[in-house]
A and B are shown apart, each in its own frame.
Chain A
Amino acid sequence: MLFHPAIMALLLADALTLILLLPAGLFALRLLRHWDLNSGSARQIRLERQTYLVATVLGFVFAVQLVSLLLLVFTADRLAVQFVGAMCAVGTFNVNPFGFPALFLKLALFFLASAWLFMNHVDNRAPDYPLTRVKYGLLLVVLPVAALAAVVQVRYFLGLQADVITSCCGSLFSGEKTVTAELAGMPPLQAMIGFYSVLGATVLGGLFALWRRRGALVFSALSAVAFPVAIAAVIAFLSLYIYEHPHHHCPFCLLKAEYGYVGYLVYLPLFVASALGVALGVTLPFARAATLQPIMTRITPRVVAMATSLFMLCMVLFTWFSWRSNLVLLG
């Protein structure tokens, strides 16, 4: 199904991402070999200049992947009508085994890119480029993930064959194979317990880190866990409450107009909070240089505070939507 415009756009976005990241990866290898801050040689100056380009490329990749993530979800939703049994995006992703992995890889890329950008931001604040080596090591992780994401996405699209009338004489009515339109969700009560305990622990961890100025790493680990837990919670109970339907588990339909675009309201704080937590967690263990201490002392509390308040907002929103719904799941 490669001639669909949105699919072409997605493939183009991935192609451009790779075209820009590959030289960046090569540059990372060169930098890791020759970087020497104390040298005033022409090569060092050239390397320093090139770091600006890589940072710009990563910013571009991040923005493009964000648009592309949303486009993938909406395209999957729009294409659902072409597959028997697919009611919405979930069905489309289930058409072949590469659908959900393509989505997950894009998410991974999003988090990796945001972590890199955060690390870059911190690195630039110190006069001696303390995180540069780690940063470019991280880039060498981003690159294969991006390549894998692109390949899986292509494989997914190649495997999309619409269930259309293929013959003028046949009576196929494509009834034989149907796509699983359902996402299995956990039992609602368990999911609620899991959600509130994990998110609650994360918020408490954040508040503790702010009060005692310690344990930010623990908070980061918790925020990394909070993300999948929250998504599972959306699937298990929040979507049911929002759609007021006991079997509609789709986490994507929330983003549509008919539900008032509440998906954005729920996902935005979740994504930002998790991205911040993960970024901090990726940066902190390497931020040992003396020049970074004053910077981290300033930045860490701000990041933790922002992430904690966003997680709290998440919990409030989940509770609000569950409370207000006309559907009764428990009791």
Chain B
Amino acid sequence: MTDAFIELRGVRKAYNEGLPNQFWAVDGVDLMLERGRVTLLTGPSGSGKTTLLTLLGCLARPTEGRVRVAGQDVSSLPERFLTEQRRHNFGFVFQQFNLIRGLSVLDNVMLPAFPLAPPHGALRARALQLLGELGLAHRSDARVEWLSGGEAQRTAIARALINDPPVVIADEPTANLDTHLSKAFLAIVERLKDEGRTVILSSHDALVAEASIVDRIVSLRDGKVVG
């Protein structure tokens, strides 16, 4: 039995259920992802990459099939508990970064922890520490609208790490970056791997596919794993 941290069995996800235009975005996927590895999901658009990411990261429930995270079945957890799982186990970096405009970098980084209501001083200190590790300490009070592409992404990464999750998921991380910044991103991923975190990426980018830190590539087509 491998040390599978995330396990998918017979997972299917439908959209527009019951309607004439119902379609299966993910159509029967068995996948086992090990702890501490960097996995890359590839495939053309419409292959179900993004949907698979949401299923892996407890952002959505499968229509059929079972999802287990760290040995616990999360497929039929009600939203409250699913969210708790997600908060503890996963950090997300979105393709569009999705930082909240109007708030400062520091506020954005602390945001995922608000519902957990930790002591404010400790939370702030941790956020500043993460920003420092990513070289953004001097921008902590800046409004996110004023950040450059690379700074925005690093803010998003810091935000993903605020609850110290064992898994980091990044959706098309290099889509909006030039080569230099893409390489910088891959260096951060390497640091995350060294910290023992599991990383899941989805990308079209050949640069990412050819990176040495990627341990495994999973190819998708029409909602099924083909390689």
Q: Is A271 an interface residue (CB 8 A)?
A: no
* B72 to A, closest residue via Cβ: A127
Q: Is B76 an interface residue (CB 8 A)?
A: yes
| Pair B78/A48 contact, Cβ less than 8 Å | yes
| Pair B17/A42 contact, Cβ less than 8 Å | yes
Contacts of A171 on B, CB cut-off 8 Å?
none
| Pair A38/B80 contact, Cβ less than 8 Å | no
Contacts of A127 on B, CB cut-off 8 Å?
77-78, 81
Q: Is B62 an interface residue (CB 8 A)?
A: yes
* B64 to A, closest residue via Cβ: A40
Contacts of A38 on B, CB cut-off 8 Å?
76
Q: How far is the CA of A45 from the CA of B64 in the complex (A)?
A: 13
| Pair A37/B78 contact, Cβ less than 8 Å | yes
The B interface is mostly helix, strand or loop, or mixed, namely loop
A47 to chain B, nearest CB (A): 11
| Pair A40/B77 contact, Cβ less than 8 Å | no
Q: Is B18 an interface residue (CB 8 A)?
A: yes
Q: Is A41 an interface residue (CB 8 A)?
A: yes
| Pair B80/A40 contact, Cβ less than 8 Å | no
Contacts of B14 on A, CB cut-off 8 Å?
42
Against B, the Cβ 8 Å flags (1 = close, 0 = not) of A26-54 are 00000000000111111101001100000
Q: Is B215 an interface residue (CB 8 A)?
A: no
Contacts of A41 on B, CB cut-off 8 Å?
17, 63
Q: Is B197 an interface residue (CB 8 A)?
A: no
Q: Which of B4-42 contact A (CB under 8 A)?
A: 14, 17-18
Q: Is A129 an interface residue (CB 8 A)?
A: yes
| Pair A40/B81 contact, Cβ less than 8 Å | no
Q: Is B79 an interface residue (CB 8 A)?
A: yes
Q: Is B49 an interface residue (CB 8 A)?
A: no
Contacts of A39 on B, CB cut-off 8 Å?
76
| Pair B76/A37 contact, Cβ less than 8 Å | yes
Find A45's partner among B61, B80, B81 (CB 8 Å cutoff). B61
Q: Is B51 an interface residue (CB 8 A)?
A: no
Q: Is B203 an interface residue (CB 8 A)?
A: no
The A interface is mostly helix, strand or loop, or mixed, namely loop
Q: How far is the CA of A128 from the CA of B14 in the complex (A)?
A: 23
Q: How far is the CA of A128 from the CA of B73 in the complex (A)?
A: 12
Q: List the count of A-B residue pairs having beta carbons below 8 Å apart.
A: 29
Against B, the Cβ 8 Å flags (1 = close, 0 = not) of A44-70 are 010011000000000000000000000
B60 to chain A, nearest CB (A): 9
Q: Which of B57-86 contact A (CB under 8 A)?
A: 61-64, 75-81
| Pair B78/A40 contact, Cβ less than 8 Å | no
| Pair A40/B18 contact, Cβ less than 8 Å | no
Contacts of A129 on B, CB cut-off 8 Å?
78
* A42 to B, closest residue via Cβ: B17
Q: Is A325 an interface residue (CB 8 A)?
A: no
| Pair A40/B79 contact, Cβ less than 8 Å | no
Q: How far is the CA of A48 from the CA of B80 in the complex (A)?
A: 10
Q: Which of A227-269 contact B (CB under 8 A)?
A: none
Q: How far is the CA of A49 from the CA of B78 in the complex (A)?
A: 10
Find B63's partner among A40, A48, A128 (CB 8 Å cutoff). A40
A127 to chain B, nearest CB (A): 4
Q: How far is the CA of A40 from the CA of B15 in the complex (A)?
A: 12
Q: How far is the CA of A128 from the CA of B79 in the complex (A)?
A: 11
Q: Which of A42, A128, A129 has the most CB of B within 10 A?
A: A42
Q: How far is the CA of A124 from the CA of B77 in the complex (A)?
A: 12
Q: How far is the CA of A45 from the CA of B18 in the complex (A)?
A: 14
Q: How far is the CA of A129 from the CA of B76 in the complex (A)?
A: 11
B80 to chain A, nearest CB (A): 6
B180 to chain A, nearest CB (A): 43
Contacts of B81 on A, CB cut-off 8 Å?
127
Contacts of A49 on B, CB cut-off 8 Å?
79
Q: Which of A99-155 contact B (CB under 8 A)?
A: 124, 127-129
Contacts of A37 on B, CB cut-off 8 Å?
76, 78
A121 to chain B, nearest CB (A): 12
| Pair A42/B77 contact, Cβ less than 8 Å | no
Contacts of B75 on A, CB cut-off 8 Å?
40
B59 to chain A, nearest CB (A): 13
* B19 to A, closest residue via Cβ: A42
* B18 to A, closest residue via Cβ: A42
Q: How far is the CA of A41 from the CA of B17 in the complex (A)?
A: 8
Q: Which of B129-149 contact A (CB under 8 A)?
A: none
Contacts of B79 on A, CB cut-off 8 Å?
48-49
Q: How far is the CA of A36 from the CA of B53 in the complex (A)?
A: 25
Q: Which of B18, B62, B63 has the most CB of A within 10 A?
A: B63
Q: Given A40-B62, A41-B63, A42-B17, A124 and B76 touching (CB < 8 A)?
A: no
Binding site for A on B (CB under 8 A): 14, 17-18, 61-64, 75-81
5 residue pairs bridging A and B, Cβ less than 8 Å apart: A37-B76, A40-B61, A40-B63, A41-B17, A41-B63
Binding site for B on A (CB under 8 A): 37-43, 45, 48-49, 124, 127-129
Q: 9 new A-B pairs (CB below 8 Å) besides A40-B75, A40-B76, A129-B78?
A: A40-B61, A40-B62, A40-B63, A40-B64, A41-B63, A43-B17, A43-B18, A45-B61, A49-B79
| A-B interface, 4 closest residue pairs, ranked by CB to CB distance from nearest | A42-B17, A127-B81, A40-B61, A40-B63
